Structures are given as C-alpha cells and as structure tokens.
Amino acid sequence: MVRRNVTASGRPRLHRQVELLLAEDVEQLGKRGDLVKVKSGFARNYLLPQGLATVATAENKRLVALHQQKLEDLKKQQRQSLVQLADRVSKYSVTLEANANEEGHLYGSIVAADISKSLVVAGYQVEAEHIRLEGPLKELGMYTVKLQFDPEVKAEVKVWVVPTATAAARK
C-alpha cells in the first residue's frame, strides 16, 4: 500500500509552496499584481507555462509595488475629477422637449441616453451608465435624477420635461 503523504523512508512529505506574482487575474486565486503562494506543481504545470504568473523576485516585487502606486495615484486623480464633475453638474438643470398630449403624457419617453446626450452637449461628460432612473420619464414636469459616477461619488441633476415649441404654439 502506497501512502501519498509520506516518503519511502516514512518521513512526512513536505508540500512545497512557491511565491508568485500574478500577471493576469486568475479566478479563485487573485488579481493581477497579487503576491500568492501556490503549490509548486500548480505553478510549474499551469501558471508559469500559461503566462499567468511570474516568479516573485525582489526586483519583480519592487516593480509591482511601483506600478500599484501609480495606479492608486491615477485612481485618486480620476475620483477627484469625478467629484468636481458631480459638483458642477448638480448646479445645472436640463431642459428636454418632448411631444405630449393635452394631459401632459408623452407620446414617447425620456430615457437615460436622452439626458446624457443633453448633458454632453452642455459640456458635462456624463454617460448614460451614470444616470440612475427608476424608469423612463413619461410625463411633462420637473424630475430630480440621481447620478452615480463611482460607488462613492453621487450627484443629482434637475430635469425639466417640457412640450415641444410647436405643440405649445398650437395651444
């Protein structure tokens, strides 16, 4: 009978682990740039040949630390610009014209893409994915629409839905 956890001399077999730096995201192991310890066979037979990881030398660790610091600085700059954008856009109100009947019901609807397009024309770089509508706007009136640029950066913008000039002139 062969036992896997002991050597031929009866001593326990050591499961050697190696330290690697991930070059790509590996599911259930880590993200790119993470320092991980894995069994040597997994490293030798899968991670290294597939180019998913590299050996964690002191130089590689230093380079990864520098790269992560640069990414962190870039994220801070992006978040700061998003905060400034949220502050500026919250002071602005959007006016959108739409065809409506006498009761104020729109023939179509106003969706996030329409609001985004209007904000971009006004000089605010707000994409449709940033706009949080509970549903399309289907009536004339004033709405407060929530914007979410980042999990921590949120704002609100006022949206006025008014009848088109030709419809208003007919009344």
pLDDT in tens, the chain (171 residues): 444 555 666 666 666 888 999 988 999 999 888 889 999 899 999 999 999 998 888 898 898 889 889 989 999 999 999 999 999 999 999 999 999 999 989 998 999 999 999 999 999 999 999 999 988 899 999 999 999 998 889 999 999 999 987 654 555
Pair 94, 58 in one domain: no
Cα 60 to Cα 54: distance, rounded to the nearest angstrom: 8
Asked whether 146 and 129 are in contact (CB, 8 A), the reply is: no
Query: Token digits for 112?
Result: 């996030």
Instruction: Return the residue matching tokens 């690697």.
Output: 20
Judged by phi (left if over 0) then psi (alpha if -120 to 50, else beta), residue 6 lies in beta
Pair 156, 110 in one domain: yes
Pair 32, 94 in one domain: no
Overall domain count for the chain: 2
